[in-house]
Amino acid sequence: MPVKITMEDLKRKLAGPQYKLTPQRKTVLQIFLDRPGQHLSAEDVHFILKENKFEIGLATVYRSLELLTELNILNYLDFGDGCRRYELNEASPNEHQHHHLICLDCGKVMEFADDLLGDLEATISQKCDFHIIDHQLKFFGYCKECQKKREQES
């Protein structure tokens, strides 16, 4: 079950001598807080910033996203299209993230929350003597709308 993340939660994660919640990082974080469930690239974040008249360079956006991923505030996602995306990490500790359904026609990404791999993960962990902390699962196919479009074209 996702946990509602606030800016205060994120400030606590960034508290410490080596990290500061700079105005730029706070602005980047706010973009993700304002768009729950969206999967944004650095370019998407930069475009939103420019659209809202924030003067933050693309390199700063990249550095912020990398740090926030390192701190487990954001999750890095690779949908196999060469574009690195991020989303807010809203999972409770020791809880698996959701999985993704990716349409091969329109590129739409849907989230799938059920974790059906618990037994498989336990088996793999035991057989390979490997402590698994998380997994990601991506399904590639066609969304409902693209299925209809493909049927009409046939």
143 is in an annotated binding site: yes
Asked if 14 and 62 touch (Cβ cutoff 8 Å), the reply is no
- Say if residue 146 carries a ligand binding annotation: yes
135 is in an annotated binding site: yes
Is residue 128 annotated as involved in ligand binding?
no
Composition of the chain by helix, strand, coil, percent to 5 = 40, 15, 40
Q: Residue 78's beta-bridge partner residues?
A: 84
Nearest alpha-carbon partner for 86 in 96, 101, 76: 76
Which tokens in the block code for residue 128?
């390979």
Q: Is 106 annotated to bind ligand?
A: yes
Beta bridge partners of 86: 40, 76
Q: Which residues are annotated as a binding site?
A: 103, 106, 135, 143, 146
Query: Binding site for Zn(2+): residue ranges?
Result: 103, 106, 143, 146
Q: Which residues are annotated as a binding site for Fe cation?
A: 135
